Structures are given as structure tokens and as C-alpha cells.
């Protein structure tokens, strides 16, 4: 069965967007439910999602396991998987890793753009790598089935996480640094460390991660994917669009600034254009995933490779990594 899975979105959620997901045949979406939130604030966000699941049961439901992707396809709905773009929900308490997994979280970034208690973000000048607590948290995430996500982390931290983790890690939303040298895009040695350890990377449609930004062409984007597949193998990649649909510009300021600064951090934007950039015309919302499939076909991917890139590879990764690690038998 062919699936469509988007492994990162952070939209201003509404019935309109949920309907667009279904219209676009999107079987599963990994949604960000925390950027800078504490544990209690994250729980409030989960409550909000629970209300949406209650209000729109014909459109969305809470996804927890890989089997929920098939259930979504069979029922014409979208499975929603929870993730964090920062480890702030666990605060300084390793015990909250298991609690949050039981509440439905399936991905957690070890850092956003800044240094965290666990790892270094990609905007820091120095990257000392995974911290002592970070090593312990990775071990606990491996045990319970919470995927290590290094999308916003710096190079050394990402490579170390891939090597330390006993289960494959993910970069849910980024592109090749060699194609477009944004700080958030990943150099080849970083991608190699992730995929050689069985990990996955999702390609981002966020304009600051694209060559030409909002004017990036579908052809260029798909040629970049072809380059990645040639270098590292097509079965290690998928889509993580980083779609931030319908948000006011004030939200992107909060995403970058949180509570750590009194100043506005423009991040990958610029002082002259600090808000959300417009999406490329060929990927405006969830109804446009078919355009990516067509673009992949035009650059020479086979039907089987396209099925993997559009969701099959993520589905396999979900199946292998969302469940608790198997206990080792006593010797």
C-alpha cells in the first residue's frame, strides 16, 4: 500500500486544514505540539488536540503506532502524531520522557536553535556535542520509543546523537546544505552519520530552506532529492514539509525568540522581512503533495522509490521505532 506521510507541520490548525489534509490524501502528519513550552503547557496543548479529535472524528485522530497510518488510509482520515521541537517539555526531569511517550509523543528534538540541557542548536557559535544529561535522555528515549530528532541541532551534536543512540534517529525537516547553505540544512557528513545508523531525513518545503526560497522550482527541489538518493540511498528519505500554514507573523517571532531573549531573533529570515515567507506556488498546502510525486517522476524516480519517499520509508521507520525497546532476556 502507498502512503502519504508528512513528518513535520506546525500550522494554525483548523477544520479547513484538516479537510485539506484529507483532500490531499495525507495519511499521517507529525505535528509540533511544543516549541518552548514547559511540561504543563505541553499537556494543555495535548488537551487542545484532544478537543479537535473529539470535534472532527471524521477527519483526524490521534496516531500512536505505525498501524494507525493504515487505519487512516482505510477510513479516509489523517493520523496525527505528536512531537516536540525542543526538549523543554521534559524540563530537567528524565522521568518525563516516559510520561510524555505514554501521552502520545513520538518525536523530540534534543535542541531547537539554542544550546539546551541535552545538545547544541545550529545557531550557537560553538558545539560541544551531547551533554551528560543528553546521553542519559537518549538512552531513555531509546528505551520507551521516543524518536531522537536533530533537525535544529548543530553538526557535532547530531553526529554524536546518531552514534550514541542505539536506535535510528531522525532529521524530520531539512535539506542538503550543498544545495542551499542555510544553517538549518545538513552537510553530507551529518546526513551520512544519520543514515549509516539506520536513520531518516525528511525534506523541507519551508522557503528559507530552499534554493531560491519562495521562488524555488519543483524541478530544483526534486533534483536535490535525487542527489540525496544517489549519495545516500532513496530509502532513507521522506517529506517533512515544515508547513506553517495560516499563522500570523507574530508566531514566527515567538518560535525563534521564546522566553530566552528580550530582542526579536530573526533567525533564518531578515530584519527587512521578519515574518513567514510565502510558500512556493507548487506547494501551498496539503492538497499539493501530488505535485511532488509528479516532480519526482520527472527526475527519474521509479514508482517504488516515489512510494517510499512520499510515505513508505517513514511508515517503516514508525513501525521500527515508536514501540518500547524489546527487553533483553536474562542470561
State residue 327's pLDDT score.
64
- DSSP secondary structure string, 62-114? E--STHHHHHHHHHT-EEEEEEESSSGGGTT-TTHHHHHHHTTEEEEES-SSS
State residue 268's pLDDT score.
59
SS3 233: coil
Burial of 220 by CB count in 10 Å (0-12 exposed, 13-18 middle, 19+ buried)? Answer: middle
Query: In this structure, is residue 19 part of a structural domain?
Result: yes
The closest alpha carbon to 127, from 149, 171, 159, belongs to 159
Query: In this structure, is residue 13 part of a structural domain?
Result: yes
State residue 274's pLDDT score.
64
State residue 326's pLDDT score.
81
Separation in Å, CA 113 to CA 184, 189, 273? 9, 20, 19
Query: In this structure, is residue 328 part of a structural domain?
Result: no
Which whole number is the average pLDDT over 323-329? 76
Which whole number is the average pLDDT over 272-280? 77
The CA distance from 317 to 199, in Å, is 8
Among all chains, which residue has been given the C-alpha cell 527519474?
Answer: 300
Query: In this structure, is residue 327 part of a structural domain?
Result: no
State residue 196's pLDDT score.
97
Query: In this structure, is residue 330 part of a structural domain?
Result: no
Query: In this structure, is residue 101 part of a structural domain?
Result: yes
More confident residue, 245 or 254: 245
Domain of 282?
5-321
CATH number of residue 134's parent domain: 3.20.20.140
Query: In this structure, is residue 326 part of a structural domain?
Result: no
Which whole number is the average pLDDT over 43-57? 98
The closest alpha carbon to 124, from 272, 327, 288, 260, belongs to 260
> How many domains are contained in the chain?
1
- Residues of the chain with pLDDT > 70, as a percent, come to 95
pLDDT digits (tens, 9 = 90+) for 291-317: 999 999 999 999 999 999 999 999 999
State residue 270's pLDDT score.
47
pLDDT digits (tens, 9 = 90+) for 172-228: 999 999 999 999 999 999 999 999 999 999 999 999 999 999 999 999 999 999 999
pLDDT at residue 329 tops 70: no
Question: Please, what is the average pLDDT of the chain?
Answer: 94
Separation in Å, CA 214 to CA 24, 208, 277? 21, 8, 7
Lowest mean pLDDT among 39-43, 126-130, 248-252: 248-252
Query: In this structure, is residue 275 part of a structural domain?
Result: yes
Amino acid at each position: 500500500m502507498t502512503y502519504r506521510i508528512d513528518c513535520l507541520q506546525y500550522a494554525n490548525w483548523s477544520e479547513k486544514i484538516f479537510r485539506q489534509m484529507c483532500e490531499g490524501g495525507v495519511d499521517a502528519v507529525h505535528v509540533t505540539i511544543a516549541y518552548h513550552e514547559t511540561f504543563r503547557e505541553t499537556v494543555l496543548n495535548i488537551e487542545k488536540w484532544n478537543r479537535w479529535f473529539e470535534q472532527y472524528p471524521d477527519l483526524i485522530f490521534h496516531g500512536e503506532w505505525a498501524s494507525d497510518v493504515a487505519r487512516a488510509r482505510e477510513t479516509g482520515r489523517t493520523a496525527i502524531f505528536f512531537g516536540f521541537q525542543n526538549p523543554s517539555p521534559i524540563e530537567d526531569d528524565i522521568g518525563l520522557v516516559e510520561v510524555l511517550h505514554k501521552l502520545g509523543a513520538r518525536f523530540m528534538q534534543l535542541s531547537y536553535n539554542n544550546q539546551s540541557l541535552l545538545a547544541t542548536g545550529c545557531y550557537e557559535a560553538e558545539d560541544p556535542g551531547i551533554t551528560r544529561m543528553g546521553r542519559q535522555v537518549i538512552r531513555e528515549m531509546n528505551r520507551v520509543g521516543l524518536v531522537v530528532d536533530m533537525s535544529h541541532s548543530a553538526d557535532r551534536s547530531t553526529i554524536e546523537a546518531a552514534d550514541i543512540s542505539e536506535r535510528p534517529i531522525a532529521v524530520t525537516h531539512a535539506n542538503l546544505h550543498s544545495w542551499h547553505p542555510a544553517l538549518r540544512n545538513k552537510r553530507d557528513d551529518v546526513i551520512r552519520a544519520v543514515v549509516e545508523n539506520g536513520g531518516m531525513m525528511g525534506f523541507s518545503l519551508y522557503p528559507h530552506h530552499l534554493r531560491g526560497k519562495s521562488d524555488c522550482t519543483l524541478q530544483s527541489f526534486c533534483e536535490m532529492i535525487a542527489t540525496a538518493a544517489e549519495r545516500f540511498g532513496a530509502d532513507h528519505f521522506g517529506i517533512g514539509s515544515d508547513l506553517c500554514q495560516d499563522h500570523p507573523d507574530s508566531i514566527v517571532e515567538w518560535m525563534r525568540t521564546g522566553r530566552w531573549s528580550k530582542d526579536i531573533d530573526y533567525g533564518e529570515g531578515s530584519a527587512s522581512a521578519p515574518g513567514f515567507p510565502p510558500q512556493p506556488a507548487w506547494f501551498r498546502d496539503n492538497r499539493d503533495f501530488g505535485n511532488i510525486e509528479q516532480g519526482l517522476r520527472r527526475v527519474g524516480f521509479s514508482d517504488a522509490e516515489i512510494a517510499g519517499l512520499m510515505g513508505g520509508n517513514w511508515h517503516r521507520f514508525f513501525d521500527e521505532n515508536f514501540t518500547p525497546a524489546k527487553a533483553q532476556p536474562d542470561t
